[in-house]
Amino acid sequence: EATNLPSEGDRTDVRLAAIRALGNYEKDQAATKALVGVLRTEKDLAVRGRAHESLVKITGQDLPPEGQAWADWLDKKGKH
């Protein structure tokens, strides 16, 4: 019995496309938080790399691709 469920590769492609799309929301707090969340929890290196690229693009910051560094930056930014 065949199913129409997406393969693991298809799911990754969709996730990468979504993360890339978030990179179009420059200075958007919700997009930034979502991308930091991906960077903090994701294990897939391609997904993490795309999240980092999008964060750099929308924030203008050049922090390392480490979730905690971005979370700290986001926390400090919110307190100004």
- Amino acid 39: pLDDT: 96
User: Which has more confidence, 79 or 1?
Assistant: 79
Instruction: Identify residue 46 by its one-letter amino acid code.
Output: A
Structural tokens at position 21: 């799309």
**What are 17-32's pLDDT values in tens digits?**
999 999 999 999 999 9
Q: What is the pLDDT of residues 43-73, one digit of tens each?
A: 999 999 999 999 999 999 999 999 999 999 9
User: DSSP labels for 19-77?
Assistant: HHHHTTSTT-HHHHHHHHHHHHH---HHHHHHHHHHHHHHH-----S-HHHHHHHHHHH
Would you state the pLDDT for residue 6? Answer: 73
Does residue 1 have a pLDDT over 60? no
